[in-house]
Every structure is written in structure tokens, then in C-alpha cells.
């Protein structure tokens, strides 16, 4: 059985995620803002979210079993990579089912924690968990062959590769993040759970595309480590600009939080600035760590190239 290439597996996983994400959007309900005393017990067992998580986890488990049955336990996908996938599901439970989800409807700062988990924590764990290999393996072999042929055809291949091109991903990642933090759309997501679910799904998909570029594309001939470092640095810069605008603004961008923050004895601007700092400090920490990782990989690649040149000269 030939395995799909990373970009092909990523495309299939994106389709599965969209299919699974249709469940919470279709069954969305009005979010309930918990009071300060009821936060600990305000777990959200939204059937749509549970169905989506179970659907993806079931496909991963089925694909993993098929791969291990064919190649041996721990081969193709290691146990550490399985642990990364379990970590991704755990973080999704924290973000979408735990009291954090209800709290996000009450406090902007909690909502920013949720967004950072969906953009900066879940996507790399899913990719490190090799969903691009496990999910395709869940389908019958003839389906995989058809998928491979379909993705090799010029229209589909050109579309997916253009969508995953680093320049395209940079604009999509930045654009989706800024659009969903515009006051009108952000507050629409607070009042309409369907919009909220669409917001979360698009942020997760944008995060997956961003991390796919960093983890699978960086270092290739058309996207060297220098460009990858610039890619991450400018992504950090654009997110820092949004965080700075929220931090230093004298106006509350999201007045819909007014009554909820009052019940917590927190001012709108204080909550906004706290959430902006969560966005700013968390994203900067993750992006700086990514830049350091890319530098290490770059130096290691240069050293291997120098050793190879010395050995062949």
C-alpha cells in the first residue's frame, strides 16, 4: 500500500475535518454564559462537537490499526506520534467542551485562550500525530488509490498546492484571524452559535495550513529556511499588531461583553486588554520558539551539506 504524500494526506484530512465540522454547525445552539459560581460545572456536551471529535478519533484509530497491522506496531506512526494526537484531542476537549467554552461567551480573555488553543496548540499536535497518514489509511485501498489519482489530476493538484503555497497560507492565516476579530463578526459569533462554530472551524483550518507549511514545507528547495523564518516572523508581527491595537485602545471593541463582565466585576477594557495580552504573549512565545527551531534545522542542514561536500571532494 502506497502512502499518500503529506500534502495529499493534509487535503484529505481537511475534507474530513470539514465534514466533521458540519455536525457542530448543523446542531449549533445558543451559547449560555455561566455565572462566576457556576463555571466549574458548566461543561458543554454539545452533541455536534462530540460527534465531530468521536468521528475524527475513530477514523484515526481505524487508520492506525490498519497501518500497524500491515507494517508492525510502532512503524509508520510511532507511539510518540500517537501520544501527540491524543494530546490534540485532549486540548480540543479543553477548548470546546470544558467550562472554558462557556466562559469564552462571558469574558474576552477566556475567548482568547480558546482561540490560542485552536490556532497554536491543536494544529501542530494533529500534524505531529500524523493525521495525514492515519486518516487516509482508514479508508479501503481502492478509495486511497482513487484519492491519489484524483489529487494527481491537474485541476485538483493545482488547487490544493496553490492553497497550501506559503504565500497563500500567510494571507489566509492572517486574514481569517483579523476578520474574526473585527467587532461586527466577533460579536455575531457571540450571539449566534452557528457563526461561532464556523469561526472555530475556520481558525482551526487556517492554523493547520500554517503549521503544515512550517513543519512539512520549510527547508524545501522552493521554500528554504530563510523564507520560512521570515514567514513565521511576519506572522508573529501581524498578530502582535492586532494584539497591540486591542491593548492600547481606549475604546471597548466588543460591548456585547458588557453585562457579562459586570457580573464578574471586571471592566470591559480590563478584560479586553487581558485577552489581548494573552494573544500577544502566547503567540510571541510560540512563534519565537518556532523561529529558534527553524534556525537549528537550517544550521544542521548546512552542516550536513558541508560534510557531504567535504566527503565527496
∠ CA 222-201-131, rounded to 5°: 55
SS3 223: strand
The answer to whether position 171 is within a domain reads yes
The answer to whether position 113 is within a domain reads yes
| Total of domains in the chain | 1
pTM over cut 0.85? no
Q: In this predicted structure, what is the pLDDT of residue 148?
A: 62
The answer to whether position 61 is within a domain reads yes
* Res 79 pLDDT > 70: yes
The answer to whether position 215 is within a domain reads yes
The answer to whether position 201 is within a domain reads yes
The answer to whether position 151 is within a domain reads yes
Sign of the CA dihedral with 41 first, then 45, 49, and 51 last: positive
SS3 87: helix
pLDDT tens profile 103-153: 888 899 999 999 999 999 999 999 999 998 888 888 877 666 666 666 566
Q: Average the pLDDT over each of 56-70, 146-160, 210-224 and give the range with the smallest value.
A: 146-160
For residues 225-252, average pLDDT: 96
* Res 176 pLDDT > 50: yes
pLDDT, the chain, mean: 84
Return contacts of 241-250, CB within 8 angstroms, 24+ apart: 242/177, 242/178, 242/181, 242/279, 243/276, 243/277, 243/279, 243/280, 243/283, 244/276, 244/280, 246/181, 246/272, 246/273, 246/275, 246/276, 246/279, 247/273, 247/276, 247/277, 247/280
The answer to whether position 214 is within a domain reads yes
Query: 187 lies in which domain range?
Result: 6-312
Grid cell digits, residue 41: 460545572
DSSP character at residue 271? H
The answer to whether position 1 is within a domain reads no
> Counting Cβ atoms within 10 Å, is residue 298 exposed (0-12), middle (13-18) or buried (19+)?
middle
37: pLDDT confidence band, cut at 50, 70 and 90? low
Q: In this predicted structure, what is the pLDDT of residue 30?
A: 45
Interacting residues of 103 by C-beta distance below 8 A, sequence separation 6+: 34, 39, 42, 110
CA–CA distance from 96 to each of 145, 164, 303 (Å)? 35, 27, 44
Amino acid at each position: 500500500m502506497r502512502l499518500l504524500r503529506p500534502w495529499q494526506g493534509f487535503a484529505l484530512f481537511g475534507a474530513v475535518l470539514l465534514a466533521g465540522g458540519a455536525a457542530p454547525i448543523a446542531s449549533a445552539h445558543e451559547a449560555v454564559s455561566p455565572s462566576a459560581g457556576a463555571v466549574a460545572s458548566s461543561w458543554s456536551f454539545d452533541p455536534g462537537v462530540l460527534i465531530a471529535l468521536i468521528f475524527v478519533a475513530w477514523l484515526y484509530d481505524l487508520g492506525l490499526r490498519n497501518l500497524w497491522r500491515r507494517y508492525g506496531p510502532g512503524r509508520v506512526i510511532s507511539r510518540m506520534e500517537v501520544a501527540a494526537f491524543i494530546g490534540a484531542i485532549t486540548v480540543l476537549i479543553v477548548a470546546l467542551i470544558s467550562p472554558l467554552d462557556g466562559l469564552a461567551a462571558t469574558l474576552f480573555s477566556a475567548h482568547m485562550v480558546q482561540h490560542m488553543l485552536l490556532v497554536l496548540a491543536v494544529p501542530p499536535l494533529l500534524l505531529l500525530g500524523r493525521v495525514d497518514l492515519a486518516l487516509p489509511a482508514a479508508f479501503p485501498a481502492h478509495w486511497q488509490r482513487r484519492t491519489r489519482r484524483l489529487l494527481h489530476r491537474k485541476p485538483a493538484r493545482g488547487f490544493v498546492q496553490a492553497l497550501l503555497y506559503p504565500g497563500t497560507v500567510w494571507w489566509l492565516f492572517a486574514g481569517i484571524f483579523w476578520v474574526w476579530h473585527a467587532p461586527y463578526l466577533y460579536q455575531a459569533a457571540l450571539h449566534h452559535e452557528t457563526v461561532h462554530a464556523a469561526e472555530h472551524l475556520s481558525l482551526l483550518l487556517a492554523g493547520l495550513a500554517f503549521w503544515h507549511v512550517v513543519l512539512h514545507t520549510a527547508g524545501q528547495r522552493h521554500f528554504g529556511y530563510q523564507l520560512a523564518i521570515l514567514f513565521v516572523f511576519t506572522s508573529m508581527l501581524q498578530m502582535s499588531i492586532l494584539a497591540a491595537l486591542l491593548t492600547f485602545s481606549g475604546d471597548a471593541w466588543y460591548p456585547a461583553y458588557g453585562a457579562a463582565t459586570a457580573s464578574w466585576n471586571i471592566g470591559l477594557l480590563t478584560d479586553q486588554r487581558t485577552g489581548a495580552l494573552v494573544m500577544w504573549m502566547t503567540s510571541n512565545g510560540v512563534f519565537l520558539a518556532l523561529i529558534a527551531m527553524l534556525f537549528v534545522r537550517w544550521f544542521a542542514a548546512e552542516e550536513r551539506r558541508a560534510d557531504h561536500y567535504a566527503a565527496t571532494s
